[in-house]
Structures are given as C-alpha cells and as structure tokens.
Amino acid sequence: MKQLNVLILAVAALFMAQANADLDAQAAKIQERIKPVGEVCVGADCGGVTVAAGEPRTGEEVFNTACTACHTAGILGAPKKGDKAAWDDRLAKGMDATLANALNGLNAMPPKGNCATCSDDEILNAIKFMSGR
C-alpha cells in the first residue's frame, strides 16, 4: 500500500511538471505574439543624427551636428558662428523672427538647417550658440 502511495505521488508530480512546462511554453508563445512590432531607437546607438530622449540638446551639440556645415565657413552667405556683426544684423529683427526663418528656411538656408529631428528649442539653442547670445 505504501508503495502504491509513492507511485501515485510520483505520477502526480510528473503530471504537474509537464503541466508547468506546457504553461511556460504557452506563455512564451503569447509573449512572442503580443510583443511590439517596431522598436523605437533612441540615442547614440541608432547611428546618424541622434534623438535626445529627454533634455533638449545644447546649442553646441546641435551646431556641431547640423549647422557647422554651412555656418562655420559661411557657405552660401550663411552668417558665420561667432561673427558678431553678421549676427547683430540678423537679430536686429528680433530673436522670434530669426528663429522663424531658421525653422521655415530662408533662401539657401534649409528649414531647420536640415535637422529634421531638432525641436524648435534645439534650433533656438543653436542660434544662441552661433550668435554668442
């Protein structure tokens, strides 16, 4: 009789182990089915121009990524970084109007300086950095 009990226990334990394994397998399948389709890549790992996850980038960061191509050498008449007189002229109409031109583009100046991932604040930071304001 005792032996029978042990046998029953052993069979029951085997059953439960099997049931658990089935559950685990099912859970894994469900996880696979409901996982997000696309994964958003944020930060330096994505390569290319990075998207800041939280804080806006500094003017210097934006400048070095997006604006330096034209605004360091003054390509196509772009006001050069640190050229106070040139920036005084630009900013005479006010920072808001100057920012609007940078966002919308102005002649050879592309909208947002081609920085599609830049927020308005980040463009503003870059203008302040270039003009020394």
57 touches ligand HEC by CB under 6 A: no
Least CB distance from residue 27 to ligand HEC, whole Å?
48
- Residue 130 and residue 67 in contact, taking contact as beta carbons nearer than 8 Å: yes
Nearer to ligand HEC, 8 or 132 (CB): 132
- Residue 98 and residue 31 in contact, taking contact as beta carbons nearer than 8 Å: no
Least CB distance from residue 43 to ligand HEC, whole Å?
19
Q: What is the largest CA-CA distance in the chain?
A: 103
Residue, CB closest to ligand HEC: 113
Whole-Å CA distances, 2 to 5, 14, 25: 5, 19, 35
Phi, psi at residue 70, to the nearest 5°?
-110, -35
66 touches ligand HEC by CB under 6 A: yes
Least CB distance from residue 48 to ligand HEC, whole Å?
15
Phi, psi at residue 125, to the nearest 5°?
-55, -40
81 touches ligand HEC by CB under 6 A: no
126 touches ligand HEC by CB under 6 A: yes
Window 86 to 125, contacts with ligand HEC (CB under 6 A): 90, 98, 101-102, 106-110, 112-115, 118, 123
